[in-house]
Amino acid sequence: MSGTSADGIDVAVVQVLGRGFHARFELLGHGHFAYPQDVRQAVLRAMNSERAGVAELSRLNFLLGELYAEAIRKAQRGAGKAKLDLVGCHGQTIYHQGEAAAYLGKQIACTWQIGEGAAIAARLGVPVVSDFRPADVAAGGKGAPLVPFLDYLIFRDRRAGRIVQNIGGIANLTAIPAGAKPQDVVAFDTGPGNMVLDQLMQLLFQKPYDRDGSVARQGTILQPLLEELLRAPYFRRRPPKTSGREEFGREYVDALLRRHSRAAKADLIATATALTAQSIARALKTFVLPGGKYRDYIVSGGGSRNKTLMQMLGRETAKLGLRLRHSDDFGVPSQAKEAVAFALLAYQTWHRQPGNIPSATGAQRLAVLGKISYA
Ligand SMILES: Nc1ncnc2c1ncn2[C@@H]1O[C@H](COP(=O)(O)OP(=O)(O)O)[C@@H](O)[C@H]1O
Ligand SMILES: [Mg+2]
């Protein structure tokens, strides 16, 4: 798995037993492999549709395939040299437009992940499932989120309603009412997770992110700015909805800095941190809590290591009567969760079973996700 933060590669080595929502799995090992600095720069360039060229995209597609294969090898060694049968590779999203828009006479939604599956299959000698999202888009969905498959599998509960929140570059949640059927699951991107924050840290402090939230802790939230940011149309749109760098990337942050060039740097970081916490809280209030009773609020992803963000989120969710917990408490290490999801989705595909949850993506039907490269 490589998320929109473009921080690197997360690998989970998983033993799977059974299919569908009755599957059981054991996590044999996992690892995070940061992209080398120049690769990260190339990935971020590739995500900039004005600047990326097809030659570079094509090279990067194969390069990432090589890097994924190396990362998988290392994770496999770390997992007691577990025997590999199948690889699921999400790849790196370089463009995502979940909402259909007019294009040359047709309504087109699209999504594009790179990291060549054929290269991974050739290096590792096992089949690879990649390109999970297009099948959902082709079925009328937004191609995201796909993690609700795993969320429903592990967190559904007969008595407790649970909300599962991942905070990566983008923050997304899966709400599973008590005793829910798959079609009762509500899932959507709440907005920025670390994306705005990381970009500001890079521009203002030349750091990739606010480690442990220590800069935000020293700053003061700029309330008028926060209110202004929370007025963005994305937050008002009803789910299902997806978001990405197209909304909250470089252009968004550049515009923000142009308007508030005199603000203290730490205050901007505190405000961007509050934007993540508040946009989540408002999404819960508006789109989730009116639809059912919930008890647990379970966080995962890199943002769950930002202590200032977690404090803000803890306060907000307590006000809403939710109990904040970490996915680690449920036996799924926060960092590995999304990678585990794509291992299980690959296993579904290998058996020609669907992996999307239509109520989460907005698809008109279930779809078998991905493309298979044979070794
Ligand atoms: N110790 C930490 N303190 C604060 N933020 C962190 C820490 N570790 C990771 N992060 C944040 O998490 C991000 C990576 O999260 P991740 O879940 O991998 O997101 P994605 O799925 O978008 O790649 C980093 O870019 C950073 O913003
Ligand atoms: Mg990541």
Ligand 1 pocket (Cβ < 6 Å) reads 3-5, 7, 168-169, 194, 198, 209-213, 301-303, 305-306
The pTM assigned to this predicted structure is 0.94
Nearest-angstrom CA–CA distance, 292 and 374: 44
Q: Which ligand is nearest to the CA of 35?
A: 2
Q: What pLDDT is stored for residue 245 in this prediction?
A: 87
Ligand 1 atom closest to Cα of 2? 23
Ligand 1 atom closest to Cα of 168? 19
Does residue 127 contact residue 372 with C-beta atoms inside 8 Å? yes
Distance 108 CA to ligand 1 centre (A): 32
Q: Return the residue whose CA atom lies nearest to atom 24 of ligand 1.
A: 302
Rounded to 5 degrees, what angle do the CA atoms 218, 223, 173 make? 85
Nearest-angstrom CA–CA distance, 268 and 247: 19
Q: What pLDDT is stored for residue 50 in this prediction?
A: 79
Helix (H, G, I), strand (E, B) or coil at 212: helix
- How does pLDDT run along the chain (375 residues), one tens digit per residue? 999 999 999 999 999 999 999 999 999 999 999 999 999 999 999 988 778 899 999 999 999 999 999 999 999 999 998 999 999 999 999 999 999 999 999 999 999 999 999 999 999 999 999 999 999 999 999 999 999 999 999 999 999 999 999 999 999 999 999 999 999 999 999 999 999 999 999 999 999 999 999 999 999 999 999 999 999 999 999 998 999 888 999 999 999 999 998 999 999 999 999 999 999 999 999 999 998 999 999 999 999 999 999 999 999 999 999 999 999 999 899 999 999 999 999 999 999 999 999 999 999 999 999 999 999
Distance 298 CA to ligand 1 centre (A): 16
**Which segments of the chain are extended strands (E)?**
8-17, 24-34, 87-89, 92-103, 106-114, 128-130, 162-167, 170-176, 186-192, 296-300, 323-326, 371-373
Distance 2 CA to ligand 2 centre (A): 5
Q: Return the residue whose CA atom lies nearest to atom 18 of ligand 1.
A: 302
Q: Which ligand is nearest to the CA of 165?
A: 1
Distance 168 CA to ligand 1 centre (A): 6
Task: Map 108-153 to HEC letters.
Answer: EEEEEEECCHHHHHHHHCCCEEECCHHHHHHCCCCCCCCCHHHHHH
Distance 106 CA to ligand 2 centre (A): 34
Ligand 1 atom closest to Cα of 195? 27
